Each structure stands twice: as structure tokens, then as C-alpha cells.
Amino acid sequence: MQIQLQKTKRELKIKNYSPKTLQSYLYSLRKYFSFKNNKFTELDQENIRDFLLHCEKKRISPQSRNLLLNAIKFYYRNVVKNSQKIEIQSAKKPHSLPIVLSRSEINKILTTVKNAKHKLMLSLAYGAGLRVSEVIALKVQDLDLEELVVHIKQAKGQKDRISVIPESLTDSLRSLTAGKVGDDSVFASERGGKLTTRTAQKVFENALRDSGIKKIATFHSLRHSFATHLLENGTDVRYVQELLGHQNIRTTQIYTKVTNPKLKNIKSPL
């Protein structure tokens, strides 16, 4: 098993897959190899189906099962060099609307945060539509406070993009980055280096709890709210797509279902 995992790791690195994808694929293959038990290089589609059904019975989500399948496909195609097509469809994912916070709820959450750096981090995540991984990875050199833009480098899909910086945050960002060099983290931890993903998520979770808001929101809800509020302000969906870094416009269009003014203006007959 370890030999096959090492070969997969090497191939993922050669193809420049992100560290997160590398970790996820190796974890997925380890689970599959444990289930298969032997003859790892032998492609058995019925065995793969049995494995995915086993995962479904263990209540593993459709998204996670699709990740497992993608890892298996990568292994046989790129490591084993088996050209046989794996005729297994991805699991159908449930279509749920994103959890969006209203403007007043965003304000309530930010008001509860007493730590100035943590408050600024959540404010920028909302104001620029950033993922948690993007916020903690920000370097001082990524901020252009004169032009009010932030350069997000090697984000999801290893793509760069530009987003907006709220003018209201520029003074706080200048104070936070004063004395730092370009390669320093904007939101450094107390021990040096960038904050961890878990720390940033915990900051949001504590703020949500202290605000008394009952929505099942996460740090990512700040990004959902950014997109929804831009659309409510009349921003063209294609500009929102660029700011979010979505490859497909359909990914961005889900926010139009949350913010559809014609639906919101309908009065219940009761």
C-alpha cells in the first residue's frame, strides 16, 4: 500500500496539485486500499462500486464519496496508467442554498468581536469575499490600499484573482501592517507566522454565538453574504463571478436564488 501511495504522491506533485488535494487524495486512496486489501493495481470496477456503497452505508456524504471516486480515477489513470474508463457516475449532490447573513447580522457579529485584529480579519473576509484559507494566507504585499484592491494568489484551483478592499478598512489595515515587510503575514499569530484555519474559524464561531444569531452559519457564510449583497446592490453577476474567482458562471448564479427581489416581494396570502 505504501509503495502505491508514494507513487501517487509523486505523480500529484509532478502535476502540481495543491497540498490540500494531495492530502485528500492520499487519504481517500488509503481508505480504498484498506477496503480492497490486495491487488491494488488491478482495476476492478465492481470492487469500486462495492467500496462506494460501503461508504454510503456508513453515511459518508455524496461530496466525500465523489472525492473518493476522483482519487481512485486519478490513481488508475495516472499512476497505474490504465486507460480503461471507469464507468461510475458521481453521486448526486443535494442542492441546498447557501447560508447568507443579512447586513444587520453581519454588523451584529462584528460588534461582538473585541480583538481588533480578529474583527478586521472577519471584516475583510466579508468585505472582499474571501475564503478562510485566503484570509490567513494574505501577505502585506498583496494589499494595495491606494487602489483598494487585494491580490489573492494561488487560491482554489491555483488561480490568482483580484478583489476589492472596503475603504472603511484602509486605516485599520495600515495600522496592522505598519513596520511589516512585504512577505509578512497580514494576520499573524501570536507565535509568529500566519493564523491557522481553525483559529480563524473559531473566531467566527465565537462571534456568531455571542451575537445570539441562530443561523447555522460558518466562516464561509461571510463570502456568501458578500456575493448576495453585491447582487442586491445591482452589481452584474459576471463581475461578482470575477471577484469570487468562480470558473463557471452557474456557481455564482446560485446567489441570484437567494436574492431574487421578485420572490421576496410576493406577499403570503395568509
The answer on 216 and 141 residing in a single domain is yes
Residue 94 domain flag: no
The answer on 193 and 115 residing in a single domain is yes
The answer on 70 and 129 residing in a single domain is no
Residue 154 has pLDDT above 80, yes or no: no
Would residue 191 show up in a list of annotated catalytic residues for this protein? Answer: no
Q: Which of 77, 139, 156, 202 is catalytic?
A: 156
Percent of the chain with pLDDT over 90: 76
The answer on 119 and 62 residing in a single domain is no
The strands making up 149-152's β-sheet, listed across from edge to edge, are: 143-144, 149-152, 161-164
Q: Quick one: pLDDT at residue 258?
A: 83
Q: Quick one: pLDDT at residue 209?
A: 96
Q: Quick one: pLDDT at residue 265?
A: 77
Residue 86 domain flag: no
The answer on 144 and 250 residing in a single domain is yes
Average of pLDDT values for 149-156? 86
Residue 21 domain flag: yes
Would residue 220 show up in a list of annotated catalytic residues for this protein? Answer: yes
β pairing state of 143-144 and 149-152: antiparallel
Residue 98 domain flag: no
The answer on 169 and 61 residing in a single domain is no
Would you state the torsion angle of the CA atoms of residues 212, 217, 223, 229, taken in this order, to the nearest 10 degrees? -60
The answer on 240 and 146 residing in a single domain is yes
Residues 140 and 186: beta-carbon distance below 8 Å:
yes
- Categorize the per-residue pLDDT at 270 as very low, low, confident or very high, splitting at 50, 70 and 90: confident
Q: Quick one: pLDDT at residue 140?
A: 95
Q: Which of 25, 32, 75, 255 is catalytic?
A: 255
Residue 68 domain flag: yes
Would residue 57 show up in a list of annotated catalytic residues for this protein? Answer: no
The answer on 27 and 131 residing in a single domain is no
Q: Which of 30, 180, 202, 220 is catalytic?
A: 220
The answer on 109 and 71 residing in a single domain is no
Q: Quick one: pLDDT at residue 199?
A: 94
Would residue 27 show up in a list of annotated catalytic residues for this protein? Answer: no
The answer on 193 and 112 residing in a single domain is yes
Tens digits of residue pLDDT in 192-236: 778 899 999 999 999 999 999 999 999 999 999 999 999 999 999
The answer on 29 and 158 residing in a single domain is no
Q: Quick one: pLDDT at residue 94?
A: 75
Residue 97 domain flag: no
Would residue 77 show up in a list of annotated catalytic residues for this protein? Answer: no
Tens digits of residue pLDDT in 85-126: 999 988 887 778 899 999 999 999 999 999 999 999 999 999
CATH of the domain at 135: 1.10.443.10
Q: Quick one: pLDDT at residue 89?
A: 87
Q: Please state the domain count of the chain.
A: 2
Residue 45 has pLDDT above 80, yes or no: yes
Residue 20 domain flag: yes
Residue 95 domain flag: no
Q: Quick one: pLDDT at residue 43?
A: 93
Residue 241 has pLDDT above 80, yes or no: yes
Residue type, 217: A
Would residue 198 show up in a list of annotated catalytic residues for this protein? Answer: no
The answer on 254 and 120 residing in a single domain is yes
Q: What residues contact residue 9 under an 8 Å CB cut-off, 6+ apart?
A: 22, 26
The SS3 assignment for 72 reads helix
Which residues form the domain of 194? 103-264
Q: Quick one: pLDDT at residue 91?
A: 85
| Mean pLDDT rounded to a whole number for the chain | 92
